[in-house]
């Protein structure tokens, strides 16, 4: 049976090396570890696995370090790994079979890259050349992203390479903590600049440089470098192993640079070569979505979801055939006011990947809509497996953001019973209790933090709001007196004073900077949610007109959400005076008029919205629905005025029967 040498280069890898070496010690016959200057326990760990440890003075070239390991290797085959990689144990037998093949010179091995947040990592597959026969003439080349493949091809252009399908290497060096901790991007960029000076026409080096520029969010530079790499490349030969990923990266770079039309050109080019490449359909869908071409976008996302298992050479990203595309299918349905269809797509996305919390947030937003019915509670219980206290905090927080205080409070209470104890959770619990008029329980929770200087101001503000909602002016003044002594920001003090004002007390008009207004909006929303619109009106009456004009659209939305249509319309008019071409404000005013059954006026606002933003379907959908209502109302009037005209009766029956 042919024997295998594991060859590695390392430096300060004590956190990773044990896992790597333990994964291969039963299948390799020799371990060569080239150390480039470790100051930790790396060399000691390697020696503990029986490795031959070679000290190498770092000269800035990964290829030279790799070649030092090859010089020491004595077995028939070379497998090379990095310290942040490990071999899947189930790969042992497949690896032994691979090296027993007499007609193969080297193997591409499937790599599973683990990246993102360590608590919720994601995976994508790749294919890299990692196993080859040990011959003196085979040597690595390249300062970084060093390659041995070209060296083999120089010796034999017809060398036979294969894919070791049943061998898997896991690579977790792309986890956020690994990338940030080692500053890999800046290191790699500096080395690649040197390598390009030496090999300015090397397509693979240009590709790697474009990739690192993309990771550094230098998208324009990345595009130019990737174009140089792509020029002249065609499927077939060694380049075909990274060509699909190169085209996808060009699409992604153009997308991030907001150059959507150009991105689509590369999508189409890529699909002409790889018609089953789901990533290109997904990113094509994203580009068309941003171009507001929703019909085409929907088709691309749907196509992505129908494609089968992706080839390793594609390096397909997780979710492009599933939850990520379904999420955007949901967003497109919402653009056409098809909430039931949207909910279905979001549910598919969330069930496929329960860690995809953005889909859950959309589901909760659609389900709640200001209501706290048992149906919402049952739907969430059936949908979410909230078996952990942390999961209950997550769902509760999403419900809280939708101001669904009762159900959010239930999730928070369950989390607290499950052992979660944080100040943030307790503040949210207190607010939920207060909004349900359970004031004593809310105050008791807040009092647990009254002596904590870190939370003192937040405690006192929330207590003041609770007593303000109770109309307890004495308590409000007592608490705010304490806050006024703290000497806080002027805007903060102005908001605190609004809580303590008496109805006839004249202190002039108040203005607050836009960046300091969130506390004020929180107070207004809590009063609205509590049903105390008189308090809201009293505060707004004290605000300067400049502040009102700046925030009129948000105030319109707040009143519309609570079905206070006259107030919503008033603030909508104020906003449109200075923002007559605001699509969202025009649609909002159309919605208000429609709710007031003033359909002619609603139609005018929707038509104005269409003229402002003709590529958005939302105004068209609302306008068509309004025309339907106008038709029905007109026919009702016609029948009422002309009861003897059978035509009107027949038309009314036909219109009323429409779904």
Distance CA 100, CA 97 (A): 5
| Mean pLDDT along residues 4-30 | 96
326 pLDDT band (50/70/90 cuts)? very high
Give the burial class of 293: count Cβ atoms within 10 A of its Cβ; 0-12 exposed, 13-18 middle, 19 or more buried.
Answer: middle
Predicted local confidence at residue 534, as pLDDT: 94
Q: What is the dihedral of CA 117, 119, 123, 129, to 10 degrees?
A: 80
Q: Residue 109's domain spans which residues?
A: 1-180
For 431-440, the pLDDT digits (tens) are 999 999 999 9
Q: What is the rounded distance in angstroms from the CA atom of residue 213 to the CA atom of residue 202?
A: 17
Do 10 and 130 share a domain, yes or no?
Answer: yes
SS3 of 482-508: the string is HHHHHCCCHHHHHHHHHHHCCCCCCCC
Please tell me the least confidently modeled range out of 88-102, 180-194, 523-537: 180-194
- At 356-404, the pLDDT tens digits run 999 999 999 999 876 667 778 888 877 776 668 888 999 999 999 999 9
Q: Can you give the pLDDT at residue 388?
A: 83
Domain shared by 630 and 658, yes or no: yes
Measured distance CA(241)–CA(38) in Å, rounded: 34
Beta bridge partners of 113: 124, 171
Same domain, 483 and 557: no
> Can you give the pLDDT at residue 83?
96
What sign results for the dihedral spanned by CA atoms 465, 469, 472, 477? positive
277: closest CA among 240, 238, 317, 323?
317
Closest-CA residue to 120 (of 391, 412, 421): 391
Same domain, 69 and 143: yes
Report pLDDT for 386: 64
DSSP 259-314: -HHHHHHHHHHHHHH-TT-HHHHHHHHHHHHHTT-HHHHHHHHHHHHH--PPPGGG
Percent of residues, the chain, with pLDDT higher than 90: 75
CATH number at residue 450: 1.25.40
Residue 106, beta-bridge partner list = 132, 161
Q: Which of 123, 153, 180 is the last residue of a domain?
A: 180
Distance CA(334)–CA(355), nearest Å, equals 22
What integer best gives the mean pLDDT of the chain?
92
Closest CA to 328 of 358, 353, 355: 358
For residue 385, is it within any domain?
no
Residues 527 and 504 in one domain: yes
Cβ atoms of 317 and 279 within 8 Å: the answer is yes
Number of structural domains found in the chain: 3
Say which residue, 649 or 543, is predicted with more confidence: 543
Structure confidence by residue, pLDDT tens digits, 292-325: 999 999 999 999 999 999 998 999 999 999 999 9
Q: What is the pLDDT of residues 587-645, one digit of tens each?
A: 999 999 999 999 999 999 999 999 999 999 999 999 999 999 989 888 888 888 898 88
Q: Are residues 540 and 557 in the same domain?
A: no
Which residues are CB-contacts of 312 (< 8 A; sequence separation ≥ 6)?
Answer: 108, 110, 125, 126, 127, 163, 165
Asked whether residue 275 is domain-assigned, the answer is no
Query: DSSP assignment of 402-448, as one string?
Result: TT-HHHHHHHHHHHHHTT---HHHHHHHHHHHHHTT-HHHHHHHHHT
For 11-168, strand residue ranges (E) read: 30-35, 52-55, 77-80, 85-87, 106-116, 122-133, 161-163
| Confidence class for position 508, pLDDT limits 50, 70, 90 | confident
- Please indicate, yes or no, whether residues 9 and 69 belong to a single structural domain of this protein: yes
Residues 513 and 574 in one domain: no
449's tokens = 């933090």
| Res 181 pLDDT > 60 | no
Report if residue 565 sits inside a domain: yes
Does the pLDDT value for residue 184 go beyond 80?
no
Of 151, 180, 209, which one is at a domain's C-terminal end?
A: 180
Do 541 and 606 lie in one domain? The reply is no
- Check whether 138 has a pLDDT greater than 90: yes
- 530-546 average pLDDT score: 94
- Region 133-154: what's the mean pLDDT? 91
Lowest mean pLDDT among 8-22, 199-213, 272-286: 199-213
pLDDT score for 541: 92
Mean pLDDT, to the nearest integer, of 413-423?
93
- For the segment 243-250, the average pLDDT, to the nearest whole number, is 96
Q: What is the CATH number of the domain that holds 622?
A: 1.25.40.10
CA distance 359 to 364: 9
Residue 476 has pLDDT above 90, yes or no: yes
Cα 9–chain centre separation = 35
Are 302 and 275 in contact, with CB atoms under 8 Å apart? Answer: no
**Nearest-5° Cα angle at 215, 210 to 217:** 95
What pLDDT sits at residue 451?
87
Q: Which of 130, 147, 180 is the last residue of a domain?
A: 180
Is residue 158 in a domain? yes
pLDDT single digits (tens) 88-133: 999 999 999 999 999 999 999 999 988 877 777 888 888 999 999 9
> Quick check: 455 pLDDT over 90?
yes
Torsion of CA 601, 606, 609, 611, to 10 degrees: -100
């Amino acid at each position: 049976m042919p024997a295998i040498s594991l060859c590695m280069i390392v430096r300060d890898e004590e956190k990773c090396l044990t896992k790597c070496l333990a994964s291969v010690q039963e299948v390799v016959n020799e371990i060569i570890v080239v150390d480039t200057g470790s100051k930790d326990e790396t060399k000691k760990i390697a020696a503990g696995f029986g490795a031959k440890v070679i000290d190498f003075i770092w000269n800035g070239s990964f290829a030279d370090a790799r070649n030092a390991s090859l010089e020491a290797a004595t077995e028939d085959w070379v497998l090379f790994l990095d310290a942040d990689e490990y071999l899947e144990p189930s790969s042992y037998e497949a690896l032994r079979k691979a090296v027993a093949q007499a007609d193969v010179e080297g193997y591409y091995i499937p790599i599973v890259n683990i990246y993102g947040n360590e608590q919720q990592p994601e995976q994508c597959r790749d294919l890299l050349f990692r196993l080859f026969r040990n011959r003196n003439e085979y040597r690595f080349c390249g300062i970084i992203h060093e390659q041995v493949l070209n060296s083999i091809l120089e010796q034999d252009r017809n060398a036979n390479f294969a894919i070791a399908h049943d061998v898997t290497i896991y690579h977790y060096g792309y986890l956020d903590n690994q990338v940030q901790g080692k500053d890999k991007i800046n290191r790699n960029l500096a080395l690649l600049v040197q390598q390009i000076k030496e090999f300015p026409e090397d397509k693979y080096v240009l590709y790697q440089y474009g990739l690192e520029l993309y990771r550094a969010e230098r998208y324009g530079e990345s595009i130019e470098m990737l174009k140089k790499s792509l020029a002249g490349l065609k499927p077939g030969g060694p380049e075909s192993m990274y060509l699909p990923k190169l085209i996808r990266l060009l699409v992604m770079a153009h997308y991030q640079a907001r150059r959507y039309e150009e991105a689509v050109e590369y999508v189409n080019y890529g699909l002409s070569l790889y018609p089953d490449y789901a990533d290109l359909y997904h990113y094509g869908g994203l580009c068309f979505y941003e171009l507001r071409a929703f019909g085409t976008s929907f088709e691309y996302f749907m196509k992505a979801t129908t494609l089968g298992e992706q080839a390793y050479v594609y390096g397909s990203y997780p979710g492009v055939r599933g939850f990520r595309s379904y999420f955007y299918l949901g967003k497109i349905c919402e653009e056409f006011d098809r909430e039931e269809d949207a909910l279905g797509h979001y549910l598919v996305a969330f069930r496929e990947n329960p860690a995809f919390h953005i889909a859950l947030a959309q589901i909760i937003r659609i389900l709640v809509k200001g209501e706290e019915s048992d149906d919402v509670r049952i739907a969430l219980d059936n949908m979410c497996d909230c078996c952990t206290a942390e999961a209950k905090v997550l769902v509760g927080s999403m419900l809280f953001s939708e101001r669904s205080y009762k159900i959010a409070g239930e999730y928070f209470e369950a989390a607290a019973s499950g052992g979660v104890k944080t100040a943030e959770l307790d503040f949210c619990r207190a607010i939920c209790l207060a909004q349900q008029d359970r004031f004593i329980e809310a105050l008791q929770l807040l009092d647990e933090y009254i002596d904590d200087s870190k939370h003192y101001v937040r405690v006192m503000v929330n207590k003041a709001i609770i007593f303000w909602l109770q109309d307890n002016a004495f308590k409000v003044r007592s608490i705010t007196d304490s806050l006024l002594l703290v000497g806080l920001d002027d805007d903060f003090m102005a908001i605190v004073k609004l809580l303590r004002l008496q109805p006839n007390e004249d202190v002039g008009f108040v203005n607050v900077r836009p960046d300091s207004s969130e506390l004020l909006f929180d107070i207004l929303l809590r009063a609205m949610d509590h049903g105390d619109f008189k308090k809201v009106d009293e505060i707004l009456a004290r605000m300067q007109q400049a502040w009102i004009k700046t925030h009129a659209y948000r105030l319109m939305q707040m009143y519309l959400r609570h079905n206070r249509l006259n107030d919503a319309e008033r603030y909508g008019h104020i906003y449109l005076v200075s923002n007559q071409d605001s699509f969202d404000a025009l649609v909002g005013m159309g919605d208000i008029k429609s709710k007031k059954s003033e359909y002619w006026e609603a139609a005018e606002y929707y038509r104005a919205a269409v003229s402002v933003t003709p590529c958005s379907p939302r105004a068209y959908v609302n306008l068509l629905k309004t025309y339907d209502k106008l038709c029905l109302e007109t026919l009702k009037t016609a029948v009422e005025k002309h009861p003897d005209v059978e035509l009107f009766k027949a038309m009314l029956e036909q219109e009323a029967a429409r779904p």
